[in-house]
Structure 1
Amino acid sequence: MKKLYFLLIVCIFISCKKQEPKVIPVKKTTPPPAIILTDERTVSVDTTLIGVFKSKTLQEFYNSSNNKTVWGNLKKRTYVLTQLKNSKVLGLDPDDYKSATLENYEKRISKLSDKELATFDILLTYNFELYLNHLHKGKLDPKKLYTDWDLEEKKLDVNSVLIKAFNKNKLDSIVENIQPKSETYKQLLKALEIIDTFPEDDIEMITTDSLTKKITLNDNNPALVNIKKRLLFWGDMSGKDSLSINYNQKTFESVKKFQERHGLAADGVIGQGTISALNYSKEKRKQQIIANLERWRWYNSDFAENYFIINIPNYSLNVVESQDTTLVRNIVVGTSKRKTPIITSVLKTVVFNPTWTVPPTILKEDVVPAMKRNRNYLKNKNITIYDTTGKEVEPSKWNENKPGNYKYVQSPGYNNSLGLMKILFPNHHSVYLHDTNHRTIFGRNNRSLSSGCVRIENPLELAEHILNDSISTKWPKEKIDSIIETKITTNIRITKKYALYQWYWTAWSKKNQLIFRADIYNLDSDLYAKLRN
């Protein structure tokens, strides 16, 4: 009996232990390492001075030095001051980092009171960390500027980075290491360096009054005087020129060179697009480069092993695999009213023989007006109307006053608006990459024509390329063609991992030449103005 009681008590004890809630350990943030102070003059920092900046990072920084000043070493201090003063060579503004104020403190360093020295020290830290943050992830937040930019916020533990470099006396490498590593970013820094070698620009604007028609070889036109001045200024025309009003062969070849650098049709014909590009001043082009540097600081520079990278203003898609560009495609992008969104995502699925459901914007702006004019508009395009129960609706019974009460679906086929295939990837904008039933438009120079999605030239070859996983899956052209012939919608998962970078940039450099593209969404000037506000 005693043994029975003992077992009963043990069981009760064990069951109670099991009912105790598990203690979940609280994840503690790792504090930055302690700052190694120099033997030079240090003073205590009043925490109220730090509090003025309302910066948790700044507070944690001085906690690591036991609230002592840290910039007593002249070499370290000079490095920081020089970086902030010369930040303009990286496209930043020295005024953002109180460069002149800090230089004034430095000149009086030996005469500063303890409070002034503490203030100087705090200002050095605060502005240098601000500078490092701006270099790493940009000055502005794209999510606060745009509703159609889906980019992950870049993180930076600026204290750990700074203190580690500080303690190891390697501040001279911190600025280089913290910036984006992408090749385009480096090309933009080179572009900024190149444009600063040009003299001041005092050339008059090229007026369009004298351009009643396009200027072609051997034409005479007064506008050619300033056109030649611009070509000479930018180095597209070498040597000297008489600056006559005649469009001679030398100018013709120079115009073609200029057009190629600016993504224009390099045919030597001078129209409004060429004039518009020629009328950019040196200062405007410099501002454009600085705006693009800011964008590239927003972008993630840790590229996946395999990826699609789209430059919207360049109307181009490059497939990169193991750092090698394996395919290049011309694309069509959204208009200025229906912009293609900026997205970082991952490719998931290829859909052959897709149906197309008319989106709300196109329904409102295109379909409804067309249906009111012609009730057979949708039928002629092989688009079926469905009511809320999924029942097919005859065009004659369609209620034009309640167009939103229906679903509009276009059947698969060669003339489907999405063409013969689309590529899906997660995003918040209901966009994708796809074929088109307007296949001749890829020959056009300006391809800002879509409703937001990206149309791809020769997409079936692209599908064959990305679906061919050499390890497990083979997708020959014949297999894809047989699926297309069925006209049955077929979803194929992409087994090879591809990231998608659908981005926007309008300037870079190549072989010491400045390269520009038209700012089709008019983002550059506005971004530059906000950067310098």
Structure 2
Amino acid sequence: MNKLYILLLLCVFISCKKDQKNAVQKTKKALPAIVITDARTIDIDTALINAYKSETLKQFYLSSDNKTIWGNLKKRSYVLSQLKKSDELGLNPNDYRVKKMNLYETQINKLNNKQLAEYDLLLTHNFEKYVIHLYEGKLNPKYLYRDWALEDKDLKINTALVKSFNHNTLDSLVKNIQSKSPTYKQLLKALKLINDFPDDNIKTIEASEKIVFKDTNPALINIKKRLLYWNDMSGKDSLTTIYDSKTLEAVKKFQSRHGLIPDGVIGASTIHAMNISKEKRKHQIIANLERWRWYPNEFSENYFIVNIPDFKLHVVEKNDTTAVRNVVVGTSKRKTPVLTSTLKSIVFNPTWTVPPTILKEDVVPAMKRNRNYLKNKNITIYNTAGHEVDPANWNINKPRSYRYIQKPGYYNSLGLIKIMFPNNYSVYLHDTNHRNYFERSNRSLSSGCVRVENPLELARHILDDSKNWSKDKIDTIIARKKTTSIKITKKYKLYQWYWTAWSEKNQLIFRYDVYDLDEDLYAKLRN
């Protein structure tokens, strides 16, 4: 009897599973029917659809009973025009078989049924691809970078296309699918701006030494040509070899646009930026447009956003920038990861545990040279039992068998504060004992974490509670040198991202590509 009961339950379970599976399959196919108002439609051979090896395309045409849908000239013309001018959005028209479709369109009245079906499939397949590229990018960062952790963006493209097709709102689909971020819009503007510049045929600037105001140097002729080309200097110039006051102001303007210290000194960094051609700058803008399509389309109400190449952190609350801080980011060998997270807690007087990479590359070599290296850094060695180890007894052959902890204090590597957020890279925002680093223009100097200028003021801003977390209260906590963790109650998202180009007030803005990602990404986009 028991066996019969178990068998009955098993049958019911299997039956339920089948019903669930069928329900999933039905849900997958449950697209709205496509409303076709064209006088001429033809059946499409399923072999033509299957040749694309696209489940998405197959599902799409089920909603039209495998009939052609693009008989309407207005809709067809809109799709073709979008694909033809996709380069205005930083995309590549060659990705969308534009030439092939244009040929079909010019012979539309002469096409036989098979050719009409082929044309219809091309229009649907490539327009969907175009919309997906606008929404989430052509490439997936997950397969390009190990230190990028962004949430996948998933667009129900068939549902979106059928709805906009039936309501004659294909133009709204293209507009609404794109990022609403001001930076994305500034990048589109930057692409338009750079396309308006003439061909760039200025010779490479060659200067081995710094050039300062009132110097005479033959390199100044090509420097002035560059400044005139990029509109940093206006009017006509005699192109002399003298560094005059007009050129000085133009150089400062150029330096500001490129994130350099605007001191007017023409050194290696300024020369490097001047020698980047129009074409390379255009590649840079296109690479950045792709990146912005990887990022979430919508921002949280309150957030921190770190632009790694700009060495800046902005706090934005209800669309208003309420704080800006200089930051120090990871070096090219120890990159700051790109990620999205949520701020969780503030730790005052943090201890610092030496991470594996720094242990291997910095601590072990230093300890081999000087056994008191860690003691001088106020770092204590602990064995697996938690007992303190004298540096003299440290086993050089088993450095990973210890924990290395730096005590709290002003000279702790994390400084006086760290701000925690969940991530898989063991990184956080923090103070630093190298506070002079914030004065540099290139601040790619850390081991991956982001060091923040004036973090105690930022902490008060985050806690937003003058009664319980006043300046005096925080100063008292710091003075005690006791590690104290405080939960952040206000919800702040953290966007730790990477972009090196945009525009402001009709001016092109660029930053040094500290991790050398732009040209490689552009090459992959155009492959």
In 2, are the aligned partners of 1:467 and 1:474 still within 8 Å (CA)? Answer: no
**Cα deviation 1:3-40 (Å, max 9, x = unaligned):** xxxxxxxxxx9xx99xx879687364362211001233
Tell me the equivalent position of 2:514: 520
- For structure 1, which segment, 261-270 or 169-178, has the greater mean C-alpha deviation from structure 2 after superposition? 169-178
Matched, 1:366 2:362: yes
Tell me the equivalent position of 1:135: 134
Distance in 1 (alpha carbons) for counterparts of 2:382 and 2:204: 56
Tell me the equivalent position of 1:503: 497
Say which of 401, 404, 428 aligns to 2:424. Answer: 428
In 1, are the aligned partners of 2:178 and 2:297 still within 8 Å (CA)? Answer: no
Distance in 1 (alpha carbons) for counterparts of 2:229 and 2:51: 49
Aligned-pair CA distance for 1:410? 0.4
Distance in 2 (alpha carbons) for counterparts of 1:250 and 1:464: 44
Aligned residue identity for 1:251: T
**Cα deviation 1:223-253 (Å, max 9, x = unaligned):** 1111000000000000011111111111111
Tell me the equivalent position of 1:56: 55
In 2, are the aligned partners of 1:259 and 1:266 still within 8 Å (CA)? Answer: yes
Tell me the equivalent position of 2:65: 66
Matched, 1:395 2:394: no
* 3-state SS, counterpart of residue 440 of structure 1: helix
Aligned residue identity for 2:97: K
Aligned-pair CA distance for 1:373? 1.0
Q: Output aligned runs, 1:236-247, within 5 Å.
A: 236-247=232-243
Tell me the equivalent position of 2:285: 289
Distance in 1 (alpha carbons) for counterparts of 2:416 and 2:468: 20
In 2, are the aligned partners of 1:347 and 1:498 still within 8 Å (CA)? Answer: yes
Distance in 1 (alpha carbons) for counterparts of 2:70 and 2:515: 45
In 2, are the aligned partners of 1:137 and 1:298 still within 8 Å (CA)? Answer: yes
Aligned-pair CA distance for 1:56? 1.1
Aligned-pair CA distance for 1:301? 2.1
Tell me the equivalent position of 2:347: 351
* 3-state SS, counterpart of residue 345 of structure 1: strand
* 3-state SS, counterpart of residue 328 of structure 1: strand
In 1, are the aligned partners of 2:251 and 2:264 still within 8 Å (CA)? Answer: yes
In 2, are the aligned partners of 1:252 and 1:268 still within 8 Å (CA)? Answer: yes
* 3-state SS, counterpart of residue 435 of structure 2: coil
Tell me the equivalent position of 2:266: 270
Distance in 2 (alpha carbons) for counterparts of 1:181 and 1:324: 16
Say which of 462, 470, 475 aligns to 1:481. Answer: 475
Distance in 2 (alpha carbons) for counterparts of 1:85 and 1:469: 55
Matched, 1:121 2:117: no
Q: Output aligned runs, 1:433-444, within 5 Å.
A: 433-444=429-440
Aligned residue identity for 1:81: L
Tell me the equivalent position of 2:456: 460
Distance in 1 (alpha carbons) for counterparts of 2:493 and 2:526: 33
Tell me the equivalent position of 1:4: none
Aligned residue identity for 1:402: K
Matched, 1:304 2:315: no
**Cα deviation 1:59-83 (Å, max 9, x = unaligned):** 1110000000000000000000000
Percent identical: 67
Aligned-pair CA distance for 1:401? 1.5
Distance in 2 (alpha carbons) for counterparts of 1:165 and 1:276: 48
Distance in 2 (alpha carbons) for counterparts of 1:398 and 1:385: 8
Distance in 1 (alpha carbons) for counterparts of 2:487 and 2:247: 53
* 3-state SS, counterpart of residue 372 of structure 1: helix
Aligned residue identity for 1:288: Q
Distance in 1 (alpha carbons) for counterparts of 2:483 and 2:78: 62
Distance in 2 (alpha carbons) for counterparts of 1:313 and 1:172: 34
In 2, are the aligned partners of 1:468 and 1:474 still within 8 Å (CA)? Answer: no
Tell me the equivalent position of 2:328: 332
Aligned residue identity for 1:480: I
Tell me the equivalent position of 1:417: 413
Aligned residue identity for 2:410: Y
Distance in 1 (alpha carbons) for counterparts of 2:246 and 2:356: 52
Distance in 2 (alpha carbons) for counterparts of 1:200 and 1:38: 48
TM-score under structure 2 length normalisation = 0.95
Q: Output aligned runs, 1:3-22, within 5 Å.
A: none
Matched, 1:34 2:33: yes
Aligned residue identity for 1:479: K
Specify every segment of 5 or more residues in structure 2 that has no aligned partner in the other structure, as ranges. none
* 3-state SS, counterpart of residue 155 of structure 1: coil
Aligned-pair CA distance for 1:176? 0.8
* 3-state SS, counterpart of residue 70 of structure 1: coil
Distance in 2 (alpha carbons) for counterparts of 1:521 and 1:162: 38
Distance in 2 (alpha carbons) for counterparts of 1:202 and 1:440: 40
Aligned residue identity for 2:354: V
* 3-state SS, counterpart of residue 213 of structure 2: coil
Distance in 2 (alpha carbons) for counterparts of 1:530 and 1:205: 27
Distance in 2 (alpha carbons) for counterparts of 1:75 and 1:36: 15
Distance in 1 (alpha carbons) for counterparts of 2:37 and 2:55: 24
Tell me the equivalent position of 2:215: 219
Distance in 2 (alpha carbons) for counterparts of 1:408 and 1:40: 78
* 3-state SS, counterpart of residue 72 of structure 1: coil
Aligned-pair CA distance for 1:477? 0.8
Distance in 2 (alpha carbons) for counterparts of 1:149 and 1:336: 14
In 1, are the aligned partners of 2:315 and 2:321 still within 8 Å (CA)? Answer: yes
Aligned-pair CA distance for 1:469? 5.1
Aligned-pair CA distance for 1:317? 0.3
Aligned-pair CA distance for 1:54? 1.2
- For structure 1, which segment, 460-469 or 318-327, has the greater mean C-alpha deviation from structure 2 after superposition? 460-469
**Cα deviation 1:317-349 (Å, max 9, x = unaligned):** 001111111110000000011000001000001
Matched, 1:231 2:230: no
Matched, 1:107 2:106: yes
Matched, 1:490 2:459: no
In 2, are the aligned partners of 1:136 and 1:180 still within 8 Å (CA)? Answer: yes
In 2, are the aligned partners of 1:319 and 1:325 still within 8 Å (CA)? Answer: yes
- For structure 1, which segment, 54-63 or 26-35, has the greater mean C-alpha deviation from structure 2 after superposition? 26-35
Aligned-pair CA distance for 1:51? 0.9
Aligned residue identity for 2:218: P
Distance in 1 (alpha carbons) for counterparts of 2:465 and 2:302: 12
Distance in 2 (alpha carbons) for counterparts of 1:319 and 1:153: 24
Distance in 2 (alpha carbons) for counterparts of 1:359 and 1:39: 66
For this pair of structures, how many residues does the alignment match?
Answer: 513
Tell me the equivalent position of 2:178: 179
Tell me the equivalent position of 1:6: none
Tell me the equivalent position of 1:318: 314
Distance in 1 (alpha carbons) for counterparts of 2:169 and 2:101: 22
* 3-state SS, counterpart of residue 330 of structure 1: strand
In 2, are the aligned partners of 1:357 and 1:410 still within 8 Å (CA)? Answer: yes
Aligned residue identity for 1:414: Y
* 3-state SS, counterpart of residue 326 of structure 1: strand
Aligned-pair CA distance for 1:474? 3.5
Distance in 2 (alpha carbons) for counterparts of 1:39 and 1:127: 21
Aligned residue identity for 2:180: K
